[in-house]
Amino acid sequence: MTVSLLSRFAIAVPAGLLFVCGAHAQAPSAVTSEIAPNAEMPATDIPTAAATDQPAAQQTQTVQQISSLEDEMIGGIDWEANVVYAIGDGVPPANAINAAQARVRAKRAAMDEAMARLLEMVQKVRVDAESTTRDFVNESRSVNTAVSGLIRNAEIEEVRQFDDGSYQIKMRMPIHGQKGISSTLLPTMLNQVQKVNIVTRSTRSESTPTNQETAVAAPETSKTQNADDSQPHTALIVDATGVDASPAMYPRILSSSGENLYNVSVPDPNVSVVEGVAAYRTSLEKARQDQRAGANPLVVKAAKTAESGKADLVLLDEDAEKIADLGEGVLRNAKVIVVTN
């Protein structure tokens, strides 16, 4: 009998310990995340008590992810990704009738705040060297209405729900594209900008060349090719690092004498709406790897920014000549990439 009681006691102690460990392991997470398709913002949970058993490196990574989320609480403009984004927060109201109503109203509040912040971010987008979207919205009722409509239909990228009933919603809209800001502003910009004639060797000729003259002039196009004269240039990359250049929807490229080499009037309007007048990358390597660059881009260095503003780039005369020799194909299809810091 004594041995039987001791055996039962020995079994009872581990059972109690197992109950405690089980309760600890089932501690609920502090945040849940509903991620919309194409979501880019990493889902991060607030560390629970179980996190104390995790390696120090893993805990550090979690803290860094949460800090990164806090840094983008309002929103921003990502020229490389071609998006404007904003984040809104909503808390359940104290006078809600029930939990369901509190949840719906908190989610609605987060969405309203996200749209308000998105409008704030959109108005900061630089259109050209001298103006932002805010200037166009304030000056034109039609632009104001169009931009407001785009924001109301902006994409919800991610929805987060926290244990206290609050919500966090991230929304974004493209800068270019059919649902982007450029589709609204391009007609106004085209009316303001004077057409630029692209100077090429063919257009510089005083008369239309005959077949014989064309054959003789053909070797002059060798400047549009690589050093081995094997391939024509497929795009234009302007290295604007070190000159404090700023991205814009409709930048200009100028010669040192002030001649317009490239602006919003040059590309096909349909291309400008869908792809933008120019793409922006933060390194020359990224620019070369961009699909827009093609196999053999021409790379030139910006000498400085223009007096009109940091979005307009000035080239040396020798580089301006190279752009003139590109012909209409590259520029007409907006195969232009600008590298900024």
Query: What number is the average pLDDT over the span 123-129?
Result: 96
Tell me the pLDDT tens digit for each residue of 59-110: 333 223 333 344 456 899 999 999 999 999 999 999 999 999 999 999 999 9
Tell me the pLDDT tens digit for each residue of 213-262: 333 333 333 343 344 345 789 999 999 999 999 999 999 999 999 999 99
Longest Cα–Cα distance in the chain: 120
DSSP 240: -
Whether the model pTM is above 0.85: no
Rounded to 5°, angle at Cα 262 from 260 and 266:
115
Q: Three-state SS for 30? A: coil
Which are the contacts of 67, defined by CB distance < 8 A and separation ≥ 6? none
pLDDT band (50, 70, 90) for residue 194: low
Given its phi and psi angles, is residue 43 left (phi above 0), alpha (psi -120 to 50 degrees) or beta?
A: beta
Residue type, 4: S
Tokens of 289: 């790897």
Contacts of residues 187-195 at CB distance under 8 Å and 24 or more positions apart, as own/partner, are 188/136, 188/140, 188/143, 189/127, 189/128, 189/250, 189/264, 190/264, 190/265, 190/269, 193/250, 193/263, 193/264, 193/265, 194/265, 195/265
Tokens of 306: 């223009």
88 phi/psi in degrees, rounded to 5: -120, 150
> Of 164, 154, 69, 76, which Cα lies nearest the Cα of 111?
154
Tell me the pLDDT tens digit for each residue of 23-54: 333 333 344 444 444 444 433 333 333 333 44
